[in-house]
Amino acid sequence: MNVSAQTGANKIHRINITPYLFILPAFLFFFIFILLPVLNTFRYSFFDWTGFSDEVFVGIKNYQELLKDQTFLTGLLNNLKFILFFTFLPIIIALVLTALLSRRNLWGRNIFRVSFFLSYVMPMVVVGVVWRWIYNPVFGPLNTSLKSMGLASLAKPWLGDFSLAFIAVGIIATWVQYGYCLTLFMAGVQRIDESLYDAAKVDGANEWYQLLHVTIPGIRSEISVALVTTFIAALRVFDLIFVTTRGGPGSETIVTSLWLYTNAFQINRVGYAAAIAVVQTAIILLISYFLLNRSRGQEEGD
Amino acid sequence: MKIATTKSLSPFYSRILNLIGILAVYFILLIFFITTVVPFLTIAVAGFKTSIELVQGAFTLPKLWLFENYINAWQQAHFNWYFRNSVIVAVPVVVISMILSIMSGYAFALMKFNLNKLLFGIFLLGIMVPQEAYIIPLYYLLVDLGLNDTYFAMILPQIAMSVCFGTFWMRGFFAAMPRDLIDASRVDGCNVWQVLWKVLVPNAWVAISTMCVLFFIWTWNDFMIALVNTSSDTLRTLPLGLAFFQGRHTANVPFISAGATIVALPTIIVYLLFQRQFTRGVTSGTLHGQ
Amino acid sequence: MNIRKLLNFVLVFVFVIGVVSCTPAAPVEPAAPVEPAAPAAPAKPAPAAEVTTLKVWDNFVRPAETAIMEELIKNFEADHPNVKIVREAKSMDDLKATLALALKSDDSPDVAMINQGESDMGAFAKASLLTPMNAYAEKFGWYEKFPQSLVRLNSWSADGSKMGEGNFYGIPIQAELIGVYYRKDVFEQNGLQVPTTFAEFEAAIATLKTKGITPIIFGNLDGWPAIHTFSEIQNVMLGSREWYDNFMFTTGTVNFDIPENLKAAQTLKKWAEDGTFMANFAGVGYDDAYQLFSAGEGAMLLTGSWLSGDLAASPFIENIGFFVLPPDEKAGYKLTVGGTGFAFGISAKSKNPDLAAEYINYLYSEKTAQDMLAAGFLPVYPLENVEISDGLLADIVAGWNMLNTTDSVGYYMDWVTPTMYDTITASLQELMGGKISPEEFIAKVNDDYVKGLEAKGIK
């Protein structure tokens, strides 16, 4: 095709620097303000450091300790469990809503779209305040409604309940994330060719069929972006836990980022925190790489 | 070939099914609508209440609509300053990140070069690393550059973070665009730069607006970077201002609610303003219908 | 073209914001009930030859607290014409996260509020980030006016390893103690008096339960309120201060595994399960809990004196009193959890340590203490013969004075090791939730303590 033919031709004669020029400005920012500090973090993970006093080299001691650290391992497990609430549920909900919102004769489409996005727009502090209120066992709307419906036995101390806290927090995560996924998908839907839908309708296809066989394949790249970013969000979650349960009750909702924060800012173990960061990033890298390769494979087979 | 269809039923039944279908659609939409709007409205209303009224009822209206909390937040709590600062930080971040992401996304999507996969992978690293991980070295870096406690301390790192997602996002979008547009323009003699700005971007406005809205939200709501990299009150941004109402032992919830509403409103307004771009007719692909 | 539209939009937006933010940055209107004649503009420092700037960080972020600080700064600047105070107020979490980095930088604040304990003051002392204030204490006579037990809590050995001796690093000005807020009218209606022994206290609880009134309003979603509740029960069981002194100052002669602590854990568990606390307390936040009490629920609230200002908004305020949890009858003595807010200290990088010390002297003075009291805050500074019209505050001040005269100011046990806060909040939640037994609870906490001792090289 033309583009590659042209650049291909250029490549034969001289090294093509055009792509690098396009990427350079972005890369520069990234390199200075993210990559360099990250490399420093990697270096810190081999030290014992409070963040403001002298560093003490300890080799891989931090990592050895990490492997046996119950808090870290529990946190990691929770991160993985959160994937259900950060990724799968929001994406499914967003797909359904995308299909519904794309109908031609829908009244109030814009109102709905704005409202669905509201949950993502709010700063986490606000989300925490809102949901702590919703889950409040004494005067929150959830329990108040349950009690008025005669289901008082179901009125639990949600965020403080050992069996339910995790799910309660998970639901908040889904509530926040689906608006984000929806926005991504709606952007992608714009790009789908109308004629594909017409062809399907001519064949008598109903909504479900259109959703499964036209919409979803058409927004594959947006779905993959959503998949990767929500996966990462599940593994990186911090704000949400910080403003709701801070890891409690007990360690039911502890996550790796929270443990990182505690080590870096409260216990003054920056070196150890750095080790947590490195392991966390490595895991995220592995999963994302796997996900991206799979979706890239699908894309190229397009 | 017949696929699942309702055509085979009698007109009466098919109309009933249609009706049920439509009702189901609105029902589902309404449920989700309620779950997002009601909590937000409650917070906005809570900003008008006193602390005692909050515990007295979930859905009650305040006896006196105290604008006090809102006014206090704006003036006494310096929310006017913080608002200005949040804007001063957010606007450059969004504009610059947008331009840079478009450029790099384009390169990764449509140009063939040896380091494509590798460099792209490195960019993705930027999305994967949690902020807490590099915030301390970042702080020291800014100190060394003499930039800490300035607007740059908040703007520059945010650009870096936005650009990682932006590259990822635009790359995906550009890669999925129909090739005929590009080919046609190359035939017309456009060079690489023109192809991007004259052909691709006008057709990618939906994706770009989406990205800008996200950049805005993430920057507007950022807490950590602003907290660690600045210490002067004059530079403080809104989320930091909100955190103020959570004192050592207690939190002033109505105050927080008023403040929270002030913080959340601009993002909603930005979304509203930008989302008209979402629905503008684009050359290829419009909304499909029944 | 669309880009132009975007730029237009951006320009309009920025313009609007500029106009909107152009309300002149009004100085904080002091909402202080103290001085009725609030000046419109801050006192401008006299344009003298040389202006020295003093940077101060504190965490008095609430409006009433800020008012006191602003007033103080005004007075200080009036007395020191060539000095300008630049003050930054930061919330507690902010302060904790940013102070360490700031103290290390060249831009360090001169005076800052520092949390006591190993992770903060101790760590800073170890890293030589603070200026010892012993000389200033002598000069300004602080030792006379400052309770000895508090001096110990704010002192660290030069290498930052031992609390309680060596260099004196900070003066806190706000005091606090844990006690019981109670509804006088509810007590009266049910024939109850303020208990003078722990047994009477438990009897009162039993009576209230039979009447269907929640004895103690309590919310432990945040995790830390339970620390105070547990410690108070602990103090009753201990009946003396010796164990706690050794525990907190890590002398190595005691650990957590003693029968009194086990009894305390068992009692707490009992209260959690038998309806002494309100239902579903595990899911109620600290703020919600005290708001419920303020709105009229329950009979008692076991928490800190810092709430007195907030409770003033309660419709039942005339009927709210405060008493210190009484000791066991036989022992006749108990510590009471209490102490102070963060301490004001001087950065090692300050270029004006003498001036900083003078500022701190202003903070810790009779005038400031009186202002604080008038605004509803409990000062550390011992005030004699003060008339307090506010009944609740009078109770609290009486309690604080009693603690000082009987030398029974206790401790926040979460300071004792860097990890103790996390360990004990989680373990208490598990204990009260029935997930671990009292014995397991003791073991967990002891584990943490012993590890902390080992880390210091003490066995």
Residue B55's pLDDT band, with cuts at 50, 70 and 90, is low
A212 contact B CB<8A? no
Question: A138–C430: do the CB atoms touch at under 8 Å?
Answer: no
pLDDT given for residue B60 in this prediction: 66
Give contacts of B51 with chain C, Cβ < 8 Å: 291, 294, 310, 313
Q: Which strand (E) or helix (H) includes residue C12?
A: helix C2-21
Residue B281 or A164, more confident: A164
pLDDT given for residue A15 in this prediction: 62
In angstroms, how far is CA C429 from the centroid of its own chain?
A: 22
What percentage of chain B reaches a pLDDT higher than 70? Answer: 82
Overall average pLDDT of the B213-217 stretch: 90
Question: Does C32 score more than 50 pLDDT?
Answer: no
Q: Which of B85-99, B145-159, C359-373 has the highest mean pLDDT?
A: B85-99
CATH topology of domain A63-300: MetI-like fold (1.10.3720)
Residue among B3, B141, B271 minimizing CB distance to A121: B271
pLDDT given for residue A85 in this prediction: 94
pLDDT given for residue C372 in this prediction: 83
Distances (CA, A) of B217 to B175, B269, C92, C135: 25, 11, 26, 52
Q: Among all residues of chain A, which has the CA nearest to that of C282?
A: A160
Q: Give, as one character, the DSSP assignment of residue C174.
A: B
Mean predicted lDDT score pLDDT of chain A: 82
Question: A238–B130: do the CB atoms touch at under 8 Å?
Answer: yes
pLDDT given for residue C62 in this prediction: 67
Q: Among all residues of chain C, which has the CA nearest to that of A153?
A: C280
- Of the ranges A67-71, A241-245, B191-195, C173-177, which one carries the lowest mean pLDDT score? B191-195
Best B19, B60, B108, B128 residue to mutate vs chain A (most A CBs within 10 Å): B128
Here the tokens at position A136 are 């409040």
- Of the ranges C4-13, C144-153, C384-393, which one carries the lowest mean pLDDT score? C4-13
What percentage of chain B reaches a pLDDT higher than 90? Answer: 15
C119 contact A CB<8A? yes
pLDDT given for residue B245 in this prediction: 63
Q: Does domain B77-279 have CATH number 3.40.50.300?
A: no
pLDDT given for residue B219 in this prediction: 92
Residue C85 or C24, more confident: C85
Domain boundaries, chain C: 52-174+341-383, 176-338+409-455
Residue B46 or B154, more confident: B154
pLDDT given for residue C1 in this prediction: 38
A49 contact C CB<8A? no
Summarised one tens digit per residue, pLDDT across range C257-286 is 999 999 999 999 999 999 999 888 998 888
At a CB cut-off of 8 Å and minimum separation 6, what does B289 contact?
Answer: A103, A104, A105, A197
Q: Among all residues of chain B, which has the CA nearest to that of C21?
A: B80
Mean predicted lDDT score pLDDT of chain C: 82
Q: Which of B222-231, C178-187, C375-384 has the highest mean pLDDT?
A: C178-187
Q: Which of A110-124, A167-181, A261-275, C411-425 has the highest mean pLDDT?
A: A167-181
What percentage of chain C reaches a pLDDT higher than 70? Answer: 88
Q: Among all residues of chain B, which has the CA nearest to that of C88?
A: B233
Domain boundaries, chain A: 63-300
Contacts B–C by Cβ distance under 8 A: 105
Give contacts of A223 with chain B, Cβ < 8 Å: none
Q: Among all residues of chain A, which has the CA nearest to that of C288?
A: A136
pLDDT given for residue B250 in this prediction: 57
Domain boundaries, chain B: 11-46, 77-279
Question: Three-state SS string across chain B, please?
Answer: CCCCCCCCCCHHHHHHHHHHHHHHHHHHHHHHHHHHHHHHHHHHHHCCCCHHHHHHCCCCCCCCCCCHHHHHHHCCCCHHHHHHHHHHHHHHHHHHHHHHHHHHHHHHHHCCCCCHHHHHHHHHHHHHCCHHHHHHHHHHHHHHHCCCCCHHHHHHHHHHHHHHHHHHHHHHHHHCCCHHHHHHHHHCCCCHHHHHHHHHHHHCHHHHHHHHHHHHHHHHCCCHHHHHHCCCHHHCCHHHHHHCCECCCCECHHHHHHHHHHHHHHHHHHHHHHHHHHHCCCCCCCCCCC
At a CB cut-off of 8 Å and minimum separation 6, what does C133 contact?
Answer: C142, C167, C168, C169, C170, C171, C345, C346, C357, C360
pLDDT given for residue C20 in this prediction: 43
Residue C432 or C21, more confident: C432
Contact C45, C82 (CB under 8 A): yes
Overall average pLDDT of the B35-41 stretch: 82
CATH topology of domain C176-338+409-455: D-Maltodextrin-Binding Protein; domain 2 (3.40.190)
Residue C49's pLDDT band, with cuts at 50, 70 and 90, is low
Give contacts of A137 with chain C, Cβ < 8 Å: 279-280, 283-284
The type of residue at A88 is F
Overall average pLDDT of the C235-255 stretch: 89
Residue B235's pLDDT band, with cuts at 50, 70 and 90, is confident
Domain at C52-174+341-383: CATH architecture: 3-Layer(aba) Sandwich (3.40)
Question: B111–A119: do the CB atoms touch at under 8 Å?
Answer: no
pLDDT given for residue A6 in this prediction: 43
Question: B233–C10: do the CB atoms touch at under 8 Å?
Answer: no
Question: A266–C425: do the CB atoms touch at under 8 Å?
Answer: no
Summarised one tens digit per residue, pLDDT across range C100-118 is 888 887 778 999 998 887 7
Residue among C21, C287, C294 minimizing CB distance to B52: C294
Give contacts of C175 with chain B, Cβ < 8 Å: none
Mean predicted lDDT score pLDDT of chain B: 79
Residue A164 or C309, more confident: A164
Residue A80's pLDDT band, with cuts at 50, 70 and 90, is very high
Residue C41 or C280, more confident: C280
Question: C17–B84: do the CB atoms touch at under 8 Å?
Answer: yes
Residue A40 or B3, more confident: A40
Which pTM was predicted?
Answer: 0.80
Question: C306–B249: do the CB atoms touch at under 8 Å?
Answer: yes
Give contacts of A144 with chain C, Cβ < 8 Å: none
